Amino acid sequence: MSMNQKERYESAKERYARIGVDTDQAIARLKEIPVSLHCWQGDDVTGFDHDGPLTGGIQTTGNYPGKARNPEELMQDMDQALKLMPGRKKLNLHASYAVFEDGRFADRDQIGPEHFAKWAAFARERNMGIDFNPTFFSHDKVKDGLTLTSPDEETRKFWIDHGKACIRISEYFARETGMPCVMNIWIGDGYKDIPADRMGPRMRYKDSIEQILSEPYDKALVKPCVESKVFGIGVESYTAGSAEFALSFAATHGCLPLMDNGHYHPTEMVSDKIPALLCFYPEIALHITRPVRWDSDHVVLFDDETREMAKEIVRCNALERVYMALDYFDAGINRVAAWCVGFRSWQKALLNALCTPNRELERLQDENRMTELMIYQEDVRLAPFGDVWEEYCRQCGVEAEGRQWFETVRKYEEEVLLKR
């Protein structure tokens, strides 16, 4: 005799209780955790302030119809995606998504809160905070592939002023939404072939960030981060913002290290780096993506490394110490669906971590009962997690199964996206 959804959840709840997990508590906790949703999935990282190509060693692939072409379309698409996602959301913006009304353009060193008022209103109406990123790529003032590391002082000053403007905008966002704004600094500066000077660009980068952070701001409202990367397209031999640079700068300047799990060598696991950094930093930040052999920014899935990253955050009791944001862009599939799949996958990973008997597994490890640990971990994999996920989605007022919510996306594609 088949059970209905409520009966399946009660059965799953009982099974989890036998291994020491309170699924009601896990669901309630997940509802409190904000995850930042990136606007740039909707238009392939194009933005609204330039007509040139995407630069900075990153790349989108695909040409699926329906790409957002202006702020109104992008907000409309994001709104559709948000309605299909469970959980608490923040909005993640790049500076290149400034909205210039009545043709009043401002270059990146001159942008201000007024150019993001529409985004602030969008977030307030949906009870969302906003995270922010200066855009150090895709601009005419990127000289010889360099911004904050440029030996040309006029170029470097332009980008320092851009960073300072973003500090002011970040504080504006925090005051408007009532939630801290994570402001992340990432540059694609580097060299395609072997450089003659590795230290010089990094000293200029260090000085540039120090100048940016000299802009006055409320440290309770703005959370500056520095993000590293191992390489990018066209900067294969050297990137100024290496992991060692970013970690050292953050440790000595009172800001946060931000790890993007696509920005490392394929054999490096960010899940292993999270507890290492939490030993030393009060707070850290993450960009969650899915790298396929390099920083390809595939849509996040409920795969092994995604689950392991979430487990480490939960195991370390660090849900209040880790700022989580999604960062991927796929132009080859429906973009609204891409947002939904990635966000839901990270929600699944967090819920799965909250439904893991972490203290019991830790005890087996500490007692060197490694055979039992392996067996127990395999048993936990087979727990009826899908029924808990379904209950979480029900409580959040969204469909649990992809085939159900995708029908809404398919209809939106036919009625809106394909008519662009």
Quickly list DSSP for 89-104. Answer: EEEEEEGGG---GGG-
Quote the tokens at residue 417: 């996206």
First-residue to last-residue Cα distance in the chain: 48
pLDDT for position 297: 86
pLDDT along the chain (420 residues), means of 10: 84 94 98 96 87 69 88 96 97 96 88 96 97 94 95 98 98 98 97 96 98 97 96 90 97 97 92 98 97 88 97 98 96 95 98 97 97 95 95 96 94 94
The verdict on 26 and 113 lying in the same domain is no
The angle subtended at Cα 173 by Cα 172 and Cα 175, nearest 5°, is 65
Burial annotation 201-228 (CB, 10 A radius, 16+ → b, else e): bbebbbebbebbbebebeeebbbbbbbb
What does the pLDDT read at residue 28?
98
Q: Is residue 303 among the annotated active site residues?
A: no
Per the structure, the complete domain to which residue 403 belongs is given by: 1-30+357-420
Residues 172 and 76 grouped into a single domain: yes
Q: Give me the pLDDT at residue 101, please.
A: 85
- Residues 39 and 92: beta-carbon distance below 8 Å: yes
Q: Which of 327, 330, 387, 391 is catalytic?
A: 327
Strand partners, 131: 92
Is 379 a residue of the active site?
no
Do 85 and 144 belong to one domain?
yes
From 338, 354, 370, the end of a domain falls on 354
Task: Say whether 186 is catalytic.
Answer: yes
Q: How many CB atoms lie within 10 A of CB 22?
A: 14
**pLDDT score, position 260:** 94
**Per-residue model confidence (pLDDT) at position 211:** 98
What is the reported pLDDT for 404?
93
Give the model's pLDDT for residue 1. 53
Catalytic, 265? Answer no
Given 354, 377, 405, the domain boundary residue is: 354
Residues 163, 304, single domain; the answer is: yes
Q: What is the 8-class DSSP label of residue 301?
A: -
List the catalytic residue out of 44, 77, 176, 297. 297
Q: Please, which residues bridge with residue 324 across strands?
A: 35, 286
Angle at alpha carbon of residue 80, lines to 74 and 82, rounded to 5°: 100
